[in-house]
Amino acid sequence: MAVTKENLFKDKQKQTARLLKALGHPARVAIVELLAERQSCVCGDITKELPLAQSTISQHLKALKNAGIIKGEVDGPRVCYCLNKETVGELDERICELLDLLQNTTPENKSC
Amino acid sequence: MAVTKENLFKDKQKQTARLLKALGHPARVAIVELLAERQSCVCGDITKELPLAQSTISQHLKALKNAGIIKGEVDGPRVCYCLNKETVGELDERICELLDLLQNTTPENKSC
DNA sequence: TATATTAATCGTAAAATTACGATAAGAAAT
DNA sequence: ATTTCTTATCGTAATTTTACGATTAATATA
């Protein structure tokens, strides 16, 4: 982020941005899609599905975990990831609120 | 992005990520909220509303413009920005598709 | 016990992001 | 014609992001 002024914004704006940023990379979109599609929580299969190195995937997983969007559970030698329903729900709320605002075009509120 | 492998992902994933990334900063969330709230398209009033330097705001506006989320129209000495309804609609579609996928938890698809 | 498997972390490099002040470029007003 | 206002761009610095290979740590398996 570099020389961030993040704290000067509203908590909601910060949290919205945080969640959107976490999904702001095609690899991370692909990961959450994978986690949603697979019945199991999948783990390092992600590495085989995506065209990225194992360490890179691990980094992306960390980013998603830091944002709270996924959680990982150790299962023997491997780690099982799954979506965090709570945070996904929060994302839903935040994004719906935002889209409501962006799309509630009152009669006077015309386009440029 | 650095050494990007973006092109190895699906177009939809790329576009979703692109739009989410554009809104992945509190200042840019604040900007689109401002544009939605104000009846007018506002221009450099944004600079007065947000705790950032004029050049920084200009940069954020550029990011939003590059993603297609806003458009700017020159109006005399100032520039009038407004939301781009088409792209906001596309964002709506993409995010709803994604959230549908993330939240459609079938009976077998339990949490970890 | 030795060896494989799995995933996180470390070190590194290249590029992008965030932020600012200073400057430039445009139009408007004096 | 000059000055003022507004916004974009340039240059710069600090930090973060993306990506990789190599290594480590932990668990299984032979």
Q: What is the CATH number of the domain that holds B95?
A: 1.10.10.10
Give pLDDT, residue B76.
Answer: 87
- What is the residue range of B74's domain? 13-101
CA neighbor of B43 nearest in space, from B56, B53, B30, B57: B57
- Beta strands (DSSP E) in B1-112 are 70-75, 78-83
Residue B110 lies in a domain: no
Residue A76 beta carbon within 7 A of nucleic strand D: yes
Q: What is the pLDDT of residues A2-39, one digit of tens each?
A: 666 666 799 999 999 999 999 999 999 999 999 999 86
User: How many Å apart are CA B4 and CA A3, to the nearest integer?
Assistant: 24
When comparing pLDDT for B1 and A22, which is higher?
Answer: A22
Give pLDDT, residue A43.
Answer: 77
Is residue A95 pLDDT above 70, yes or no? Answer: yes
Number of domains in chain A: 1
Residues forming beta bridges with residue B70, ordered by sequence position: B83
Residue A59 lies in a domain: yes
Q: What is the pLDDT of residues B35-48, one digit of tens each?
A: 999 866 777 899 99
> How far B19 CA sits from the closest chain A CA (Å)?
7
Is residue B109 pLDDT above 60, yes or no? Answer: no
> How far A6 CA sits from the closest chain B CA (Å)?
7
Closest partner residue to A101 among B21, B33, B81, by Cβ?
A: B33
Give pLDDT, residue A104.
Answer: 84
CA neighbor of A13 nearest in space, from B73, B30, B9, B45: B30
Place of tokens 């961030």: A4
Give pLDDT, residue B39.
Answer: 66
Is residue A111 pLDDT above 50, yes or no? Answer: no
Is residue B97 pLDDT above 60, yes or no? Answer: yes
Structure tokens at B28: 């840019």
Protein CB footprint (7 Å) on chain D nucleotides: 5-11, 13-22, 26-28
Give pLDDT, residue B111.
Answer: 42
Residue B22: CA atoms inside 13 Å, Cβ hemisphere, count? 20
Residue B33 lies in a domain: yes
Contact B29 A13 (CB under 8 A): yes
Q: What is the pLDDT of residues A45-86, one digit of tens each?
A: 999 999 999 999 999 999 999 999 999 999 888 999 999 999
Q: CA B5, C1' D19: Å apart?
A: 9
Strand C contact set, beta carbon < 7 A: A 1-6, 43-44, 47, 54-55, 58-59, 61-62, 72, 77-79; B 1-4, 21, 24-25, 27, 52-56, 59-60, 63, 74, 76-77
Nucleotide nearest to A2 (CA to C1'): D15
Residue B5 lies in a domain: no
Is residue B110 pLDDT above 50, yes or no? Answer: no
Is residue A107 pLDDT above 70, yes or no? Answer: no
